[in-house]
């Protein structure tokens, strides 16, 4: 059965928040359809559970069940600890009355630790949804690179790592492959989502470091392996996400990023089944269009500083 869902996207000025939310709905229901009636509002018609989306998503403030009016939410709120919250996406709105929205709810009000929230979003129009904000607290700060026992300057922050994993559309119990594991940033986030992780790095120091970080955070994995991404040591995977190594701080073995990418794609072709997704983050100067076994799905750009823009490319196995 299809649900009407709302995602309040975060305010970053990139296309990543929208793409991440869509990828998550499509992972659980390929027949999902979407509307963007407001720059920060994504509406989905999908059989995917919006609360599961909320537990996974990185670049969003809220995700939940869209309702037309407050009384439609009452059965969901009954017997729960609840609160009302309003997000004004534009200035000039009058202050809403929480009692109006919660009137008739057989629930207890808990402003600090609610199980559910009746969320009002006001922008070009008004949107009302039942959300679960407590499950969206991801603890990014506790997993930031400097908190890990093994640190390397190339490490990706956990929020972006989670988004890259989500763009791969991996589901719980599926095999997630990180062919350039580094410090294990993506592997940690994939494991937290319930994926079966295989992390690979050609440098022994990095492979050992990724392993120590996984152990430190209590994550499970199928394997953390020292191996060449051009000769991957597994027969099959369901999804791939990675950051292509480049620059002096990374283990490139003297190869150019385009050579590393080409070899990785050739190795991934026989491993991924048709319809699987591979996500690559790389310098904007590196063109990633798949070719051969892969088709281009989408590209997103992240401005780092005036000399560097990172690109996230999503490919689909043909």
Q: pLDDT of 124-171, one tens digit each?
A: 999 999 999 999 999 999 999 999 999 999 999 999 999 999 999 999
How crowded is residue 104: how many other Cβ atoms within 10 Å of its Cβ? 12
Structure tokens given for 217: 């955070």
Tens-place pLDDT, residues 82-131: 999 999 999 999 999 999 999 999 999 999 999 999 999 999 999 999 99
Query: What is the distance between the alpha carbons of residues 315 and 289, in angstroms, rounded to a whole number?
Result: 8
Would you call 252 helix, strand, or coil by DSSP?
Answer: coil
Q: How many alpha carbons fall within 13 Å on the CB side of residue 284? A: 11
CATH number of 140-317: 3.40.50.150
Strands 196-201, 175-178: pairing is: parallel
pTM of the predicted structure, to 2 decimals: 0.95
Predicted pLDDT at 250: 54
Query: Could you give the angle at the alpha carbon of 300 between the alpha carbons of 298 and 301, nearest 5°?
Result: 155
- Mark 258-286 as b/e (b = at least 16 C-beta within 10 Å): eebbbbbbeebeebbeeebbbbbbbeeeb
Residue 278 backbone phi and psi in degrees, to 5 = -125, 130
Does residue 95 contact residue 101 with C-beta atoms inside 8 Å?
no
Predicted pLDDT at 12: 87
Q: What are the residue ranges of CATH 3.40.50.150 in the chain?
A: 140-317
Predicted pLDDT at 252: 59
CA 111 centroid distance within chain: 27
CATH number of 3-136: 3.30.2130.30
- H or E segment and range at residue 66: strand 60-67
Does residue 42 contact residue 63 with C-beta atoms inside 8 Å?
no
Predicted pLDDT at 152: 95
Strands 116-122, 81-88: pairing is: parallel
Place of tokens 């994550």: 219
Series of mean pLDDT values for 10-residue runs along the chain (318 residues): 95 94 98 97 98 98 98 97 97 96 96 97 97 96 97 95 98 98 97 98 96 96 95 96 77 78 94 97 89 93 82 97
The residues near 69 (Cβ < 8 Å, ≥ 6 apart) are: 128
């Amino acid at each position: 059965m299809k649900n009407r869902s709302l995602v309040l996207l975060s305010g970053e000025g990139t296309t990543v928040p929208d793409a991440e939310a869509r990828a998550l709905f499509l992972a659980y229901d390929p027949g999902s359809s979407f509307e963007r009636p407001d720059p920060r509002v994504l509406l989905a018609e999908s059989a995917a559970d919006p609360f599961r989306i909320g537990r996974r998503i990185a670049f969003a403030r809220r995700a939940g069940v869209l309702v037309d009016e407050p009384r439609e939410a009452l059965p969901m709120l009954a017997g729960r600890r609840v609160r009302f919250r309003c997000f004004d996406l534009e200035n000039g709105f009058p202050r809403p009355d929480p009692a109006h929205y919660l009137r008739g709810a057989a629930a207890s009000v808990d402003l600090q630790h609610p199980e559910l929230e009746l969320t009002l979003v006001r922008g070009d129009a008004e949107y009302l949804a039942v959300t679960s904000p407590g499950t969206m607290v991801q603890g990014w700060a506790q997993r930031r690179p400097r908190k890990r026992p093994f640190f390397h300057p190339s490490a990706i922050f956990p929020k972006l790592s989670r988004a890259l994993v989500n763009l791969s559309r991996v589901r719980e119990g599926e095999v997630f492959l990180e062919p350039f594991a580094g410090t294990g940033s993506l592997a940690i986030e994939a494991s937290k989502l319930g994926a079966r992780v295989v992390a690979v790095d050609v440098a022994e120091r990095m492979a050992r470091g990724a392993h120590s970080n996984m152990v430190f955070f209590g994550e499970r994995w199928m394997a953390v392996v020292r191996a060449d991404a051009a000769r991957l040591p597994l027969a099959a995977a369901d999804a791939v996400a990675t950051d292509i190594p480049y620059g002096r701080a990374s283990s490139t073995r003297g190869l150019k990023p385009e050579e590393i990418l080409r070899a990785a794609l050739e190795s991934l072709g026989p491993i991924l089944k048709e319809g699987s997704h591979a996500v690559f983050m790389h310098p904007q100067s590196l063109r990633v269009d798949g070719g051969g076994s892969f088709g281009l799905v989408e590209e997103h750009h992240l401005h780092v500083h005036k000399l560097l823009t990172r690109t996230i490319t999503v490919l689909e196995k043909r």
